[in-house]
Amino acid sequence: NAGVTQTPKFQVLKTGQSMTLQCAQDMNHEYMSWYRQDPGMGLRLIHYSVGAGITDQGEVPNGYNVSRSTTEDFPLRLLSAAPSQTSVYFCASSFVGTGAGGEYSPLHFGNGTRLTVT
């Protein structure tokens, strides 16, 4: 199993450009989420999904869009990049629900995408 795969690993954008950060998992996890991590700060939730066709906003959703057309993929779209979106972005997944392997399933993280907006 590859786990959670994020691409690209590094990206530089100019202000106003748009792009999509890719996230894929092969563990059949229902729950997927996107976080940003800024220096000296904790991980902050951007958007999350509890299954295909279902998405919801997290703590810092402005400037980002998501969709969940399949269980495996959860792309994050930056609509018009701003310097304030310079950060490291992490995708994570887990099981959701009660029962063995579900109720207290830990998050499995990808290794991040380092984004710089100039």
Partner 1 sequence: KNQVEQSPQSLIILEGKNCTLQCNYTVSPFSNLRWYKQDTGRGPVSLTIMTFSENTKSNGRYTATLDADTKQSSLHITASQLSDSASYICVVSVNTNAGKSTFGDGTTLTVKP
Q: Which residues in this chain contact partner 1 in the complex, by CB under 8 A?
A: 4, 31, 33, 35, 40-45, 48, 50, 56, 58, 90, 92, 94, 96-98, 102-107, 109-112
In the bound complex, what is the minimum distance in angstroms from residue 64's beta carbon to partner 1? 15
Query: Residue 14 or 106: which CB sits closer to partner 1?
Result: 106
CA contacts within 13 A on the Cβ side of 7: 4
CB-CB contact of 88 with 114 (8 Å)? yes
- State in angstroms the smallest separation of the CB of 102 from partner 1: 8
DSSP state string for 29-60: -SEEEEEEE-TTS-EEEEEEEEETTEEEE-SS
- Look up tokens 């450009």; give the residue: 17
Nearer of residues 5 and 17 to partner 1, judged by Cβ:
5
Of 19 and 96, nearer to partner 1 (C-beta) is 96
